[in-house]
């Protein structure tokens, strides 16, 4: 087991494959994490410490396997985010991981970006969900954590507070990255169910067979590997809230079953014959036009109207640019606290660049850009040049760029765009630019990025 920083580690990597260990440590460090690695479950359990913010856990560990290790981790902490890696591409393994308390899982081989996106999502989700015991002690829910300078979003926040007190099904709509998951958690937090479970199911993240089992549970012998009966998310969230993310990707064969639950509050487990009941409050979210899906026959019309009892549209970030300074300040503060550093501030030209950009990826993209910019920055005051290479797409055509760029800055921007788009792969960067790998190292050194 090795520590990669004199600061307390905040990411624990448990994997017996030393190559994967080294890969994950390097990737984590590039993204601002402070990783520590362990080669077995026993070694990983010894490394558990209060400063940890997430765990990457391999399923196929020697001796104590990943599932057994996960059970022990959950005994240590019920809220520490855990992403499980598995070489077994079967539904039962994934179900076991999720049931044992994993926040998500990935099948090897996996994309590093996908893994760290899951880690980030799990960490934010755990951070913004109060423990049930703490919520139960409160006689009334606290004020909403969201604020805005935009009149349309302020009205939305008012509607969120009103809708939270009702028990109606809610449909959250808006572009990808606008924060629909955060709004769903806010609705739950402000609702009479705040002391109960908030459970998320991502509809496109699981294959159809696993998604059905995830939602409704299964009986023993329902499919190969189903060695015992398991409850589904509708059972687990019966007194709380079930958040169905990206509902527009729900497979057509599962749509009638979901409709039945919303209408009658009844369902069957996979392979079961006993009628089960649920009182879960459903919040669904989509970044697609569900009405168009209905018109094309891809989504049931009756299900659409069952989900769309109350619709709350989350505006895109470019529709509320006045919130960008506050969001940027809050995100930079969170990054600094996580990395245990003094923090950063924006120069005037940097603030103008952020305000003039269209933000097609919305708040999620802003968070990503700030993470990456601060990882490369050498000074506490961030300038426009710290952001321009990272911003893909176009700026708002109504706003001019803050100033012209020098030849050296153009070179740096072109190089950095390619370098980041290849995942910091030096060999691939060299091929994309038609230069030698030695030249890539020279450019990294020239621009102070080694």
DSSP secondary structure, 236-299, as one string: HTTTSEEEEETGGG--GGGHHHHHHHHHHSEE--BT--S-EE--PEEEEEESS-HHHHHHHTSS
Q: How confident is the model at residue 338 (pLDDT cuts 50, 70, 90)?
A: confident
Distance CA(102)–CA(71), nearest Å, equals 9
User: Do 47 and 38 meet the contact criterion of CB atoms below 8 Å apart?
Assistant: yes
**Range 130-146 average pLDDT:** 38
- Res 106: pLDDT: 81
For the stretch 424-432, contacts whose Cβ atoms lie closer than 8 Å and that sit 24 or more positions apart, written own/partner, are 424/30
Q: Each residue of 203-225: pLDDT tens digit?
A: 887 777 788 888 999 888 887 76
- Res 396: pLDDT: 45
CA nearest to 307, candidates 397, 172, 436:
172
Q: How many CB atoms lie within 10 A of CB 413?
A: 17
- Res 154: pLDDT: 87
Domains annotated on the chain, with CATH: 2-127 (3.40.50.2300), 132-315 (3.40.50.300), 321-446 (1.10.8.60)
φ/ψ (deg, to 5) at 365 = -70, -40
CA dihedral 332, 336, 342, 347 (to 10 degrees): -20
Q: Each residue of 152-197: pLDDT tens digit?
A: 898 998 899 899 998 899 999 999 889 899 999 999 999 999 989 9
Question: What radius of gyration, in Å, describes the C-alpha atoms of the chain?
Answer: 23
- Judge whether residue 376 has pLDDT over 70: yes
Retrieve residue 117's tokens: 């996106």
Q: What is the pTM of this model?
A: 0.59
């Amino acid at each position: 087991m090795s520590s990669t920083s004199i600061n307390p580690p905040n990411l624990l990597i448990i994997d017996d494959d030393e190559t994967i260990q080294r890969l994950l440590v390097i990737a984590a460090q590039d993204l601002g994490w402070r990783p520590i690695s362990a080669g077995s479950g026993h070694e990983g359990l010894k490394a558990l410490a209060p400063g940890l913010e997430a765990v990457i856990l391999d399923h196929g560990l020697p001796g104590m396997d990943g599932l057994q290790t996960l059970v022990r981790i959950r005994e240590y902490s019920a809220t520490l985010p855990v992403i499980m890696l598995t070489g077994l591409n079967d539904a039962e393994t994934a179900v076991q991981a999720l049931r044992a308390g994993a926040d998500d899982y990935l099948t090897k081989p996996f994309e590093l970006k996908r893994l760290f996106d899951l880690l980030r999502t799990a960490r934010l989700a755990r951070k913004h969900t109060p423990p049930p015991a703490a919520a139960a002690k409160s006689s009334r829910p606290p004020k909403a954590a969201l604020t805005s300078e935009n009149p349309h979003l302020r009205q939305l926040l008012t509607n969120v507070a009103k809708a939270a007190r009702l028990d109606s099904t809610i449909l959250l709509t808006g572009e990808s990255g606008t924060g629909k998951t955060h709004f769903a958690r806010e609705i739950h937090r402000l609702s009479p169910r705040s002391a109960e479970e908030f459970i998320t199911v991502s509809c496109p993240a699981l294959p159809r067979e696993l998604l059905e089992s995830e939602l409704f549970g299964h009986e023993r012998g329902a499919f190969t590997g189903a060695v015992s009966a398991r409850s589904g998310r509708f059972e687990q969230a019966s007194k709380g809230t079930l958040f169905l993310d990206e509902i527009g990707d729900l497979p057509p064969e599962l749509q009638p079953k979901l409709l039945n639950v919303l209408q009658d509050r009844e369902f069957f487990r996979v392979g079961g014959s006993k009628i089960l009941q649920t009182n879960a409050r459903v919040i669904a979210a989509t970044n697609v036009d569900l009405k168009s899906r209905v018109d094309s026959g891809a989504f049931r019309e009756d299900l659409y109207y069952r989900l769309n009892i109350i619709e709350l549209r989350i505006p895109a970030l470019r529709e509320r640019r006045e919130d960008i300074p506050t969001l940027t300040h809050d995100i930079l503060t969170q990054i600094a606290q996580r990395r245990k550093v003094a923090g950063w501030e924006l120069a005037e030209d940097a603030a103008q660049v952020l305000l003039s950009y269209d933000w097609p990826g919305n708040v999620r993209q802003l968070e990503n850009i700030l993470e990456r910019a601060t990882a490369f920055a050498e000074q506490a005051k961030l300038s426009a040049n710290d952001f321009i290479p990272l911003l893909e797409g176009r700026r708002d055509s109504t706003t001019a760029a803050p100033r012209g760029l020098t030849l050296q800055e153009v070179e740096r921007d072109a190089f950095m765009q390619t370098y980041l788009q290849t995942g910091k792969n030096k060999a691939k960067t060299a091929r994309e630019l038609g230069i030698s790998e030695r030249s890539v190292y020279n450019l990294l050194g020239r621009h102070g990025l080694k």
